[in-house]
Amino acid sequence: MKIFYDQVPVGGKLRMFGSGDGRPATNFRRWRNYAWRSVEPEGQTKAKEWTPEKAARLKNLVDKAHKDGYWIRFYTLDGDPFPATHGWSPDYNFGTLEAAQIRWRACIEAGVDFVATDQFEAFTEFLKHSQRKPR
């Protein structure tokens, strides 16, 4: 998150690269891409309280990806009570901004490299006010 957020200027060039699929990391295969169900199997719409067990599951996935030389990305962490009004998928929605922010914070604390969200303005503000900066 830090590289794209802090170091690539708006309108700057991004080089595209692919997601890892179990093979070793290479210059092309640079990240692992996970649905949030890897952390909370019930998915965003049925997710309950954030627990230490969920935090440990998240941290284990992050640590494994980093050990293997990958960045790690999770999708899609939204928190809007009316996602359809924006054209967003309700399947990736925790239902409230507060519930999404709990997961955003957990991702930052675990060292997640990329977080996908349709609420990028809210996420940007959240990052600006976070005590711990992303990697």
Helix 120-128, helix 97-110: angle, nearest 10: 60
Q: State pTM to two decimals.
A: 0.81
The pLDDT value recorded for residue 84 is 80
Sorted by where each begins, the domain ranges of the chain are 82-112
For 55-94, how does the pLDDT look when each residue is reduced to its tens digit (9 = 90+)? 999 999 999 999 998 999 999 999 998 878 888 888 899 9
Structure tokens at 50: 């954030």
- At residue 90, what is the residue type? P
Rg (CA), the chain: 15
Share of residues in the chain with pLDDT > 90 (%)? 59
Spans of the chain below 50 pLDDT = 134-135
The pLDDT value recorded for residue 14 is 57
Which residues of 3-110 form beta strands (DSSP E)?
Answer: 18-19, 29-35, 71-75
